[in-house]
Chains A and B, each alone.
Chain A
Amino acid sequence: MADDPIISVRGLVTSFGKHTVHDGLDLDVRRGEIIGIVGGSGTGKSVLLRAVVGLLKPVAGQITVFGENVRDTNAEDYRRLRKRWGVMFQDGALFSSLSVQQNVEAPIREQLDMSAETRAALAAIKVRMVGLPDDARPKMPSELSGGMRKRAGFARAIALDPEIVFLDEPTAGLDPIGAAAFDELTAQLRRALGLTVFLVTHDLDSLHAICDRIAVLAEGRVLATGTMAEMQDVDHPWVQAYFKGPRARAALAQKESL
């Protein structure tokens, strides 16, 4: 059981009209790991995430999460599955008409029959766990900075104590200190809640700092998976350019100097 992958994608094909995004993509995610999904802009990282959480119907292929097929579930099974994962979209995707507190309460309110006081208390804890101050709770999303919105989106994603969280470029657009803090937060919450993290990112620092494994997307497939060290030896021009370019060397040097 423990060795079974928590997410398993086999032969995934997705396309928009004539434009094929994934063409026979395979990917396994192990329970409890932080897997970093990298790839150039437009290689279909976000589309992969949307397919795995069932927001987008693939043309072909099999996607199982917790051993259940995401594509063929009926509405009832899907609702049950959905409770066990949380998604944070790019830029947080907070409900703009609700306060931070209400945003975090929203999934609890929808999924569980819980008294208002308990719900409020649990949501307040989640808001603190992602490192937001208590006075951020009554604020509206438009009053928050980009980094705070991402944290609030993270709080909403973990509101129901999911087993997997999907994060779409959580550190994009954050300053390096904010990005490092977000990485630290992700790792810390993984430890505290036993999360599996599906992390779409461009950020080499995040890959170095917190990812157990990395999957590289290119040409509609997963080109390679492995640890950061193993990526150095992959013989593919894009992978070489990405992991051995000046930025990659800087990130590596920074990590070694720590």
Chain B
Amino acid sequence: METSAPQTAQKPTRPQLMLADGGLVLEGDFLMGTIESLDLQQDAAEKIDISRVGQLDTAGAWVVVTLERRAQAAGLTPQIIGATSLQSDLIATIRRNMPDADVSPPPTPTISDRLEQIGRRTVAGLRSTMEMVGFLGRVVATIIGLLLRPQRIRWTAIVHHMQQVGLNAVPIVSLMAFLIGVVLAFQGAAQLRQFGAEVFVVDLIAISILRELGILLTAIIVAGRSGSAFTAAIGSMKMREEIDAMRTLGLDPIEVLVAPRVIALILMLPVLGVIANFAGLFGGALMSWIELGVSPGVFQSRLISNTDVSHFGVGLIKAPFFALIIGIVGCYEGMQVKGNAESLGSLTSTSVVLSIFLVITADALFSIFFAILGV
């Protein structure tokens, strides 16, 4: 079979455009890789002679048709002469498929476009806040429904997620808390030594870790670890239409996918918080001993006598709320994934940023609340 495509890999000759006796003459190989050197801003001509063209591909044919269109725009009726039958077929195909309008980039946005965009974003933001609150309501209702009918609870799934979000996070959470304890002791020591009040380092470490840092930093790590994993897992199921398949089988995705994850988080985050508290106190005690010579015995007795157990309670009471925030945000963003991989990625990062932000906001609200209560 005869073809118009280049038959061999020999080097193509440079294409040229010339004006000769009232017509345009094309010479050389007009190919994808060669036409870039041409200047198409030619004067219009009645004739376009391509008899001296060697190889011609779609790019070359596009050049011919573009020249023809320029001539037509100038009011002429150009003729293409010297084309082989294959070449004229190809040129006809390109002529038929050339878009009428110029393929131009979209216009740059004006100020009113930008204002409109701000408005749309605000409305979209408000709407998604409403939706997320609605989602929270549905999840809480589902969980309460499950508690009323415990035989419907999916224990296997819950235990699986407890392992994922809880047990597997123990090493990283305890290492993080240990290091925070070390840093607090080290920094506190430098300040307290100036007043000869070294022993107060115990109060400093105990109160800051038990009340705030232990649970807050644990929640931030869990948001990064598990919140993103929830979004990615549910999002990729959404992408492959698994969620729709579930609905057609009469399964409620909230009951099957969301509730076990949220319940597992609510159960495990307090446990992780306790582990973080112990690891932080241990790190602080170790550093106080090395740096300040506060022996473990002194640390312990001072901890017991001076630190009210309410600090521990204040810290830990926040854990289930943080867990709910992380679980709801992670699962909600996963449910928002649309067809493509791009949206999965961007929603996963949105999920992490949003849940960390909300956890810190909630922590601030708790502080105000406890200050008013005077706890």
Contact = CB atoms under 8 A, between A and B. Distances in A.
Interface of A: 1, 31-33, 66, 80, 96-97, 101, 108, 112-115, 117-118, 120-126, 128-129, 134, 137, 140-143, 160-161, 163, 191-195
A95 B58 CA distance: 24
B248 interface: no
Contacts of B93: 129, 192
Nearest to A114: B36
A81 B99 CA distance: 31
A96 B33 contact: no
A129 B1 contact: no
A44 B157 CA distance: 37
A191 B4 CA distance: 9
B54 to A, nearest CB: 15
Interface string B324-352: 00000000000000111110000000000
A192 B89 contact: yes
A96 B7 CA distance: 34
A142 B339 contact: yes
Given A118-B59, A161-B58, A192-B93, 10 more contacts: A32-B1, A33-B1, A112-B36, A114-B36, A122-B59, A129-B93, A134-B99, A140-B340, A141-B340, A194-B2
B3 A31 contact: yes
8 contacts: A96-B342, A97-B341, A114-B32, A121-B98, A122-B62, A141-B339, A143-B339, A192-B89
A96 B341 contact: yes
B36 A125 contact: no
A178 to B, nearest CB: 20
A107 to B, nearest CB: 10
B249 interface: no
B3 A126 contact: no
B132 to A, nearest CB: 23
A113 B35 CA distance: 10
B1 A161 contact: no
A102 B220 CA distance: 38
A1 B90 CA distance: 24
A192 B340 CA distance: 34
A191 B98 contact: no
A195 B5 contact: yes
B9 interface: yes
A139 to B, nearest CB: 12
Nearest to A121: B103
Interchain residue pairs A-B with the least CB separation, the first 8? A194-B3, A142-B339, A32-B1, A96-B340, A128-B97, A142-B340, A194-B5, A161-B57
Contacts of A96: 339-342
Contacts of B5: 161, 163, 193-195
Contact of B1 (A31, A120, A141): A31
A108 B35 CA distance: 13
- Between B2, B97, B103, the greatest number of chain A beta carbons within 10 A of the residue's beta carbon is seen for B103
A195 B89 CA distance: 14
A230 to B, nearest CB: 19
Contacts of A160: 32
B37 to A, nearest CB: 10
A120 B66 CA distance: 14
B231 to A, nearest CB: 17
A115 B62 contact: no
Contacts of B313: none
B339 A129 contact: no
A142 B59 CA distance: 29
B107 to A, nearest CB: 13
B94 interface: yes
Contacts of B32: 108, 112, 114, 122, 160-161
Nearest to B38: A118
B145 interface: no
Contacts of B338: 142
Interface in B1-35: 1-7, 9, 31-33, 35
A123 to B, nearest CB: 8
B9 A66 contact: yes
A62 to B, nearest CB: 20
